Chains A and B, each alone.
Chain A
Amino acid sequence: MGKRVALTGNEAIALGMRQINPDVVAAYPITPQTDIVQYLASFVSDGQVKTELVTVESEHSAMSATIGAAAAGARAMTATSSQGLALMWEVVYIAASFRLPIVMPVVNRALSGPINIHCDHSDSMGARDSGWIQLYSESAQEAYDNLLQAVRIAEDKRVLLPVMVCQDGFITSHSMENLEILQDEEVRTFIGEYKPDYTLLDTERPVMYGPLDLQNYYFEHKKQQAEAMKAALPVILEVADEYKKLSGREYKLFEAYRMDDAEYAVVIMGSAAGTTRVVVDELRAAGEKAGLLKLRVFRPFPYKALQEVLGKVKAVAVMDRADSFSGFGGPVFTEIRAGLYDLEIRPKISGYIYGLGGRDLGIEEIRRVFNDIKIIAQGGDAVEFVTHLGVRE
């Protein structure tokens, strides 16, 4: 039976980590992730977890030690933000290629420069092609729920890939929210005991992690990694079903909100989905056929499922909280466009970049976006291809 508590996003993640009770956590402090590590250190000091906490000297070492621990057969975790993720970037790829089921909460924060401690998605978007599964959360509740599901997804033998559980820095990580948590025992049963097949500590069957892999094998290994990522989609849904039975909360690859008869829709990830939902309700009350698609799973990219839902609308606005500096919009925008390209009838798609460096996204701005795409849905041509929303000119 769930229990209602008031927690910040980071507290919810830390609580989830206590319930997961990982064998090893190697982590380094960085704003706004810091209090996750602090809480975990207190759990260790108070004997509430069996975790060996490795307080490394950098995020590069955090991921390296987590890799070593996971390869040794431990359920191993770390957590980071922004520059920390950027610093560990090299080894983030290695974790995925080793097929280690590491779960890493990422508290999204803008990348330098200029230095900025507030939310955007440029950090995790920079690692979008690293071979990690990426789950995005709207709220502390979702961050907590995604964290628990991530363990099962990562460790599934059909997948064996690491997972980033993303939540918005400060907006979610430091805001108090009422949420429902599971009992410790329920979490323990849900995630089960971790029994890896190949570990460094198996004297009967020694293993090599990270040998030199040249022209004759590297490509096959990369193909296997790509297959595992594809195999993750049904597993994510299976785990969500099981989690729903336990928690009563439903998760899919994305949330389609009032999309059934929608004529135009906004696609968004993270905390701004809440504000967007308010605007959708407002427009619906006024008789407008507006909808919202909140993307939860960005890696693997669920393009087929997205085709089914977005293929029915006339105009879509894709909202990115990161720029790719390609001159062609943000990463979610370009992928949604590519994902819908094969449809015979496809919506008009415009891109919006918003909220960089923690810039607030207000109701007014979302209303403007819906208004833009309503005009497009009616056959108009009202907006730029990609708009930087709420920027002073």
Chain B
Amino acid sequence: MSVNLKELSKKPDILTPGHRLCAGCGAPIAVRQLLSALDNPVVIGNATGCLEVSTSIFPYSAWNCSWIHSAFENAAATISGVEAAYRSLKKQGKVKEDFKFIAFGGDGGTYDIGFQSLSGAMERGHNMVYVCYDNGAYMNTGVQRSSATPLGADTTTSPVGAVVPGKLQHRKDLTAIMAAHNIPYVAQGSPSHFTDLIKKMKKALAVEGPAFINVLAPCPRGWRTETSETISLLRLAVDTCFWPLYEVENGKWNLTFRPKEKKPVEEWLKHQGRFRHLFKPENRHLIDEFQQYVDNSWETLLKRCEVS
């Protein structure tokens, strides 16, 4: 599947300018790249979260397509109902077009509160793509830790204090958990590597059955980074192997990008205010632990992808 950026840039935007997401937010960048892969009419489902509230303030809409949001934890179930209706109405000849169905949720709405709904929808085999934009915390409510928040991050519910150095746990490996659902297509992508990401979306849309894509999406407010650094931070996340780019296609793991040189994770951490305290001498062990976790995950991934 080839991606021609020139051709894609001629397509009308589905998520249009005028939305109210922050400057430097990774979510709309990811969404616009992903939706450029579409060739069909689409219905988009949205979990409650930044993307939803910032694109749908009544009576305005930033969406050039049909769109549904019902609650926080049920984007997957809701869009699965839309897809079931489509199948039924299509069979009866009441709908002519070939629709695609995409759900977007943040990490809170996907890793945590929406996890059951997502798992159920994937197991049932709906023809849909679920995209998680992972910014590593509940950003919409003001930066609370989620199960996607990395070790040591300073959030408003894992605040750095006199005795606690930020979040005490590692993050959940949701992409691998989704791969364990044995659905036709699972991938992890980053807007910094847009041809890779768009290709993955094209594959996700093309398979019969459910697909899941996890996209890293920096949040300048929550990560405490410069809005201009969003893409370079994503590159560093990929180059440090904190956020490796890979796909699992019909059970086959495939590394889609390998950094020329695997950088130390510090390179990514040091740009972010949420990790600043880790660079105090007494917290050095946390950076080591973080690095160890990244190294182990990377080794496991290489084994799964059968690369040495």
A residues at B contact (CB < 8 Å): 23-24, 26, 50-52, 54-58, 60-61, 64-74, 76, 90-91, 94, 98, 199-203, 206-214, 217
Q: Check A24–B84 contact: CB distance below 8 A.
A: yes
Given A23-B88, A211-B58, A212-B56, does the pair A54, B81 have CB atoms closer than 8 Å? Answer: yes
Q: Check B81–A69 contact: CB distance below 8 A.
A: yes
**Stretch of B117-125, B167-175, B183-191, B285-293 contacting A (4+ beta carbons < 8 Å):** B117-125
Given A90-B71, A209-B67, A211-B58, does the pair A56, B88 have CB atoms closer than 8 Å? Answer: no
B73 beta carbon closer than 8 Å to chain A: yes
Shortest beta-carbon distance from A351 to chain B in Å: 36
Given A50-B91, A52-B87, does the pair A201, B77 have CB atoms closer than 8 Å? Answer: no
Residue of B nearest to A66 (CB): B81
Which residues from chain A contact B56 at a C-beta distance below 8 Å?
A: 208, 210-212
Q: Check A61–B63 contact: CB distance below 8 A.
A: no
Residue of B nearest to A201 (CB): B95
Which residues from chain B contact A214 at a C-beta distance below 8 Å?
A: 57-58
Interface hits, B123-149 → A, CB 8 Å: 123-124
Q: Check B85–A69 contact: CB distance below 8 A.
A: yes
CA distance A208 to B121 in the complex (A): 22
Q: Check A68–B70 contact: CB distance below 8 A.
A: yes
B92 beta carbon closer than 8 Å to chain A: yes
Residue of B nearest to A209 (CB): B68
Which residues from chain A contact B255 at a C-beta distance below 8 Å?
A: none
Add 4 more A-B contacts to A72-B82, A72-B89, A214-B58 (CB < 8 A): A57-B119, A65-B77, A206-B65, A211-B69
Which residues from chain A contact B61 at a C-beta distance below 8 Å?
A: 208, 211
Shortest beta-carbon distance from A75 to chain B in Å: 9
Which residues from chain A contact B74 at a C-beta distance below 8 Å?
A: 60-61, 64, 91
CA distance A60 to B71 in the complex (A): 10
B17 beta carbon closer than 8 Å to chain A: no
Residue of B nearest to A93 (CB): B71
Residue of A nearest to B94 (CB): A73
Q: Check A65–B81 contact: CB distance below 8 A.
A: yes
Q: Check A56–B120 contact: CB distance below 8 A.
A: yes
CA distance A210 to B84 in the complex (A): 19
B residues at A contact (CB < 8 Å): 41, 43, 45, 52-53, 56-59, 61, 63-71, 73-74, 77-89, 91-92, 94-95, 97, 99, 116-117, 119-121, 123-124
Q: Check B70–A201 contact: CB distance below 8 A.
A: no
Q: Check A60–B69 contact: CB distance below 8 A.
A: no
Residue of B nearest to A54 (CB): B84
Q: Check A212–B66 contact: CB distance below 8 A.
A: no
CA distance A178 to B70 in the complex (A): 41
CA distance A70 to B53 in the complex (A): 23
Which residues from chain A contact B63 at a C-beta distance below 8 Å?
A: 206, 208
The answer, among A55, A73, A199, A200, for a CB contact under 8 Å with B124, is A55
Given A54-B124, A68-B45, A212-B53, does the pair A61, B88 have CB atoms closer than 8 Å? Answer: no
Q: Check B66–A207 contact: CB distance below 8 A.
A: yes
Q: Check A68–B85 contact: CB distance below 8 A.
A: yes
Shortest beta-carbon distance from A93 to chain B in Å: 10
Q: Check B77–A60 contact: CB distance below 8 A.
A: yes
Contacts A/B (CB < 8 Å), 25 sampled? A24-B85, A24-B88, A52-B84, A52-B88, A55-B124, A56-B124, A57-B117, A57-B120, A60-B74, A60-B77, A61-B74, A65-B81, A68-B82, A68-B85, A69-B81, A72-B81, A73-B89, A94-B71, A98-B70, A201-B86, A208-B56, A210-B68, A210-B69, A212-B57, A217-B58
Shortest beta-carbon distance from B307 to chain A in Å: 35
Q: Check B85–A206 contact: CB distance below 8 A.
A: no
CA distance A46 to B70 in the complex (A): 33
